Amino acid sequence: MGIMIRKQKEFFGLTGIAKLSIISLIVSLASSFVITIWALYMDSFIHSIVYVGFFSALLTFISVTSFFLLIPIIEKTNKSKLYVFSLFLFGITYLIFSFNISIYLFAILAIITAIIGTVRMTSFGIMVKDKSPKTKLSRNEGLVYTFANLSFVIGPLIAGFIASKYGLGKVFLFASVFIFLSILIFKISGIKDANIKKKADTNIMKNFFDFFKNKQRVTAYMLGGGVNLWWVLIYLFMPLYIIRNELDKIWIGYFLFAVAVPLIFLGYFFSKLAGKIGFRKIFKIGFLIPCLLAFACFFINSVYIILALLVIASIGLSMLEATTEAYFFDITKDKEEQRFYGPYNTTIELNNLIGKLIPSIFLIFLPFKFVFLLFSFFMFIMFLISHKVKNIVEDGK
């Protein structure tokens, strides 16, 4: 018995970042299950691409508001305990989604997940920052994102198979199991983060205006959001596009699997590279690639070629996912990270809102191919903004 305990301690002698990466892998696996079929699940209640987009936009608006409203809670609460609590609520919610529920219960639970998702994201991000030396931040962010993206390689395949054979409800059941497993592993790992501010910043309007006073923080905000803007196309509109083109649900799994592959093999490399040569060039190339490939999709009729081009576009996204967040932390003072990391994450939800709302309006009047043109334009704007970043070199070895 003593030998087993000693081996367990040796195993969990991993660094805090390594432990968080493993936990991120399991949580992201559950998330990848849900994201793969989320648009289809909403469509099963709403039965319209346009209204799916509008309801998703409403959930996004709720998330944006929550990031600012919950700043005092984030600042004054133990981050590790807050993270576990948010995971527990997700596990329960996914379990309920696995049953045949009414549209009203679905709407209530969807709103709850939109709120607790902000808590989970903020508490985890702060823990990663707190466990990272300044000179290795971009590398560590790259490691965490690589593990998370590994889940998005295998997760969509599993979710697509389960949804095709057993229905959408079983996907949520599997997701719930992995969420509860992640809670168990997190507790065993012994990760603690009691980084608590004695005096919380409770003035919401002051927090808002102070955040946007800093020009580089605004630039980081816009670029970080640009990454998530692209994922709206991939994870919301493309599954519906695949189904509307009369492909089997399993093709959603194939596509989302392939999209995540470049992130796995290239994300960590580009994160280390950004730490050595600076962020500006990485950002510029990273946004230009999806800009050009989405533009090409507008002129192509073959669904298979379009899917292939969007998979290749993920090479650009592998240059951006971890580096945009690392850049935000590099330009933010340590004493301000808890106050501003939550508001920074509103860029995810705000750009999700833009990415859902504007294309949904387009689809009322125009064919689907104009969505590709719109996202190409979005990425071009981000390419232009990339020229304004400070070329910070962390020089992490």
Mean pLDDT of 76-80: 80
The whole-number pLDDT of residue 69 equals: 79
pLDDT band at 181 (very low <50, low <70, confident <90, very high): very high
pLDDT band at 246 (very low <50, low <70, confident <90, very high): confident
Lowest mean pLDDT among 63-67, 195-199, 280-284: 195-199
The whole-number pLDDT of residue 201 equals: 54
Residue 396 has pLDDT above 80, yes or no: no
66 or 96, greater pLDDT: 96
The whole-number pLDDT of residue 8 equals: 46
pLDDT band at 395 (very low <50, low <70, confident <90, very high): low
Mean pLDDT of 154-163: 84
- Total count of residues recorded for the chain: 397
pLDDT band at 63 (very low <50, low <70, confident <90, very high): confident
Mean pLDDT of 215-227: 87
- Calpha distance 75→394 (Å, rounded): 27
Mean pLDDT of 151-171: 84
pLDDT band at 11 (very low <50, low <70, confident <90, very high): very low
Q: What is the pLDDT of residues 290-332, one digit of tens each?
A: 999 999 999 999 999 999 999 999 999 999 987 887 888 788 7
Lowest mean pLDDT among 192-196, 225-229, 233-237: 192-196
Mean pLDDT of the chain: 83
Q: What is the pLDDT of residues 275-286, one digit of tens each?
A: 788 888 899 999
The whole-number pLDDT of residue 3 equals: 44
The whole-number pLDDT of residue 12 equals: 47
230 or 349, greater pLDDT: 230
The whole-number pLDDT of residue 315 equals: 94
The whole-number pLDDT of residue 178 equals: 94
Mean pLDDT of 185-213: 71
